[in-house]
């Protein structure tokens, strides 16, 4: 899954009224930016460095095939940290597409069933049911429920294929921030560095400035975390 390009997500256009493609770009902005973490969702295994196991028995995806391609994208919107992760402790990453900012992501080419099963696992629910992605692709957003990752966002298309991600229904100012744990930051940082060809300094500066992390993590502190277990 080598990444050699940085693309900019285009505004939604060109999808018309035809059927939603079976392949979609899953835009990962949290720990899934790291392909090793994504592999755990695909296969149902516990990620290295996690403090606790996910609630229930991880099942993984029905289709455990690795993505054939991944690319770096810059999405319009803001990354922030809030609530409390059961797996990592500390704040979870969320994406607010309504706030003027830029969010670097790693997008994986997945099938609809793979994306659906990953979204289910994000909510600690059994995998196995395909999501209806029509509303999200047509309008840019779809609310599957009130849960923390039950809002689907389609911020654009690449090569005629829709970009989809899942996030919370609220805006970042509507909920208190919570600083992320070191292990969680390490995963995000590893994924962003590899996808976007960033240095440790660039990655640390970005993560330390995100709401929820800002004021708790310094760029130097994040850089120390990123250097622990990864070269650079």
Write the CATH number for 59.
3.10.490.10
Is 199 part of a structural domain of the chain? no
The pLDDT score that the predictor gives to residue 213 is 98
The pLDDT score that the predictor gives to residue 186 is 96
Which residues make beta-bridge pairs with 79? 95
Q: Are 165 and 105 in contact (CB under 8 A)?
A: yes
Number of domains in the chain: 1
Which residues make beta-bridge pairs with 152? 142, 166
For residue 64, CA distances in Å to 52, 101, 110, 115 come to 23, 34, 10, 11
Which residue, 116, 126, 121, 185, is CA-closest to 148?
121
Strand, helix or coil at 142? strand
Is 164 part of a structural domain of the chain? yes
pTM: 0.89
The pLDDT score that the predictor gives to residue 222 is 98
Q: Which structural domain, as residue segments, surrounds residue 55?
A: 6-178
Cα-Cα-Cα-Cα dihedral sign, residues 75, 124, 186, 212: positive
Which pairing describes strands 6-8 and 70-76: parallel, antiparallel, or unpaired? parallel
Within 10 angstroms of residue 93's Cβ, the number of other Cβ atoms is 27
Is 57 part of a structural domain of the chain? yes
Q: What percent of the chain has pLDDT over 70?
A: 85
- Report residues of the chain scoring pLDDT below 70: 1-18, 47-58, 229-232
The pLDDT score that the predictor gives to residue 104 is 94
The pLDDT score that the predictor gives to residue 223 is 98
Is 228 part of a structural domain of the chain? no
Is 189 part of a structural domain of the chain? no
The pLDDT score that the predictor gives to residue 65 is 94
The DSSP symbol for 43 reads H
**89: burial class by Cβ within 10 Å (0-12, 13-18, 19+)?**
middle
Is 184 part of a structural domain of the chain? no
The pLDDT score that the predictor gives to residue 232 is 39
The pLDDT score that the predictor gives to residue 123 is 85
Instruction: Show Cβ contacts of residue 3 under 8 Å, excluding neighbours closer than 6 positions.
Output: 70, 71, 72, 106, 194, 195
């Amino acid at each position: 899954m080598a990444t050699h390009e940085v693309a900019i997500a285009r505004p939604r256009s060109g999808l018309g009224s035809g059927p939603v493609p079976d392949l979609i770009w899953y835009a990962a902005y949290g720990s899934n930016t790291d392909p090793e973490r994504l592999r755990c969702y695909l296969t149902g295994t516990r990620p290295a460095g996690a403090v606790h196991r996910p609630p229930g028995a991880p099942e993984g995806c029905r289709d455990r095939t690795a993505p054939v391609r991944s690319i770096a994208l810059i999405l319009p919107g803001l990354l922030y940290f809030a609530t409390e992760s059961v797996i990592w402790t500390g704040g979870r990453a969320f994406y607010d597409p309504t706030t003027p900012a830029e969010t670097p992501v790693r997008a994986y080419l997945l099938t609809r069933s793979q994306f659906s099963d990953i979204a289910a696992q994000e909510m600690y629910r059994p995998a196995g049911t395909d999501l209806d992605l029509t509303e999200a692709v047509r309008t840019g957003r779809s609310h599957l429920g009130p849960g923390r990752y039950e809002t689907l966002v389609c911020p654009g298309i690449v090569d005629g294929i829709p970009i989809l991600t899942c996030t919370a229904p609220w805006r970042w100012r509507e909920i208190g921030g919570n600083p992320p744990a070191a292990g969680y930051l390490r995963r995000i940082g590893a994924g962003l560095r590899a996808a976007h060809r960033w240095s440790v300094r660039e990655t640390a500066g970005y993560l330390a400035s995100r709401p929820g992390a800002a004021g708790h993590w310094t760029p130097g502190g994040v850089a120390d975390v990123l250097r622990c277990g990864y070269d650079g």
